[in-house]
Amino acid sequence: MLNPSVDPDSSIASARAAGRRPGTGPYLQEVSGTGSPHTPVWFMRQAGRSLPEYRELRVGTTMIEACFDPDMTCEITLQPVRRHGVDAAILFSDIVIPLAAAGVDIDIVPGTGPVVARPIRSEADVDALPELTPDRVEKIQEAVRLIVAELDPATALIGFAGAPFTLASYLVEGGPSRNHEHTKSLMFSRPDLWNTLLAKLSDITTVFLRAQVEAGVDAVQLFDSWAGALSLRDYRSLVLPHSTAVFADEIVASVPRTHFGVGTGELLGAMGEAGVDVVGADWRVPLDEAARRVPGKVLQGNLDPALLFADRRSLDGEVRRILDEGARAREQGAPGHVFNLGHGVLPATDPGAVTHVVDLVHELTGK
């Protein structure tokens, strides 16, 4: 449910509403717990490498350049809405864009992912981490305003950011990691320094999300992509407080908030305690089981992205299964279900399969 502590007459809410579209579409209805005409559907990474129009547009540009080009960001964000008819657009960006905006020397290397020129390993490194100021994300805000101006009011715009733990993992490891050995070493050897680092990253993430909300996004999602590497005990003590701080910000809390991680089945309950309206589950946990682990939250998910490569009969069967699990989750008290994947669209996915799933979900759940 929307945060009842936010006064709709407050200066913050009024400032946000001044340039906003009426939020009445299926996605916003579902995540606010009021119910929608059909199960809303959108896909993580719905904009990007699976679309030929995206690949054509991106020729000659780096990922970071594209994310700071408002016109290009707008066009890429809208491409899957036009092609697939999804119920929500998600701002085209990357988890590490707030770090790049702050001034961290980071690159997104094709085929590898984010690579940090100088990993954070010491107290001096943490002290040197720059702050993110609002003026550094004006291009992001411009992109959001362009998208809002073109997007049908019935289609929600979701903003997003990487969670403090996932950002810390990239910064400490220097790039993607299987075992997160440097990250965990810092967490346990210097918990004081770890908490200082995550507090700074929480501030960076909050500034990034606030900017998107102020520019007009209808909802936000926080990705904690690597949190599944942690035990529940360690997540609760060393990560959850910092994610909670992001969601508790008054401006961020003025829109519906979703929390998602990969391989986080054992953490779902704790993630739901971070102050969110929606919890995303990957394909490893059935939605009716997720409803038991995360009581009282709208659920998002959770088709395995690899199943978009299956034949249509098999794919249709899996879509029906997930919708059935979503219906059982509602019977168990979940306020709603947003159909999505259990992670992002894979690069080699046939766009036609994505469109087919959208059409099928709408057909099967339309009232």
d(CA 341, CA 80): 15
CB-side exposure of 48: number of CA atoms within 13 Å? 20
DSSP-assigned letters across all residues of 301-347: EEE-GGGGGS-HHHHHHHHHHHHHHHHHHHHTT-S-EEEEESSPPPT
Q: Give the closest residue to 95 by CA, choosing from 334, 284, 344, 304.
A: 344
User: Among residues 58, 145, 292, 328, which one is catalytic?
Assistant: 58
Whose tokens are 């993630």? That residue is: 271
Reading the block at residue 64, the tokens are 């970071």
Reading the block at residue 332, the tokens are 């168990």
Paired strand residues for 280: 260, 300
User: Among residues 21, 49, 121, 284, which one is catalytic?
Assistant: 49
What Rg value do the Cα atoms of the chain yield, rounded? 19
User: Among residues 45, 210, 293, 330, which one is catalytic?
Assistant: 45
d(CA 201, CA 195): 10
Q: Is 210 a catalytic residue?
A: no
Q: Is 170 a catalytic residue?
A: yes
User: Among residues 94, 203, 224, 277, which one is catalytic?
Assistant: 94
CB-side exposure of 138: number of CA atoms within 13 Å? 2
User: Among residues 16, 27, 136, 170, which one is catalytic?
Assistant: 170
Q: Is 49 a catalytic residue?
A: yes
Reading the block at residue 363, the tokens are 């057909």
d(CA 253, CA 151): 23
d(CA 93, CA 73): 8
Whether 258 contacts 42, CB under 8 Å: no
Q: Is 94 a catalytic residue?
A: yes
d(CA 278, CA 158): 13
The residues that are catalytic are 45, 49, 58, 94, 170
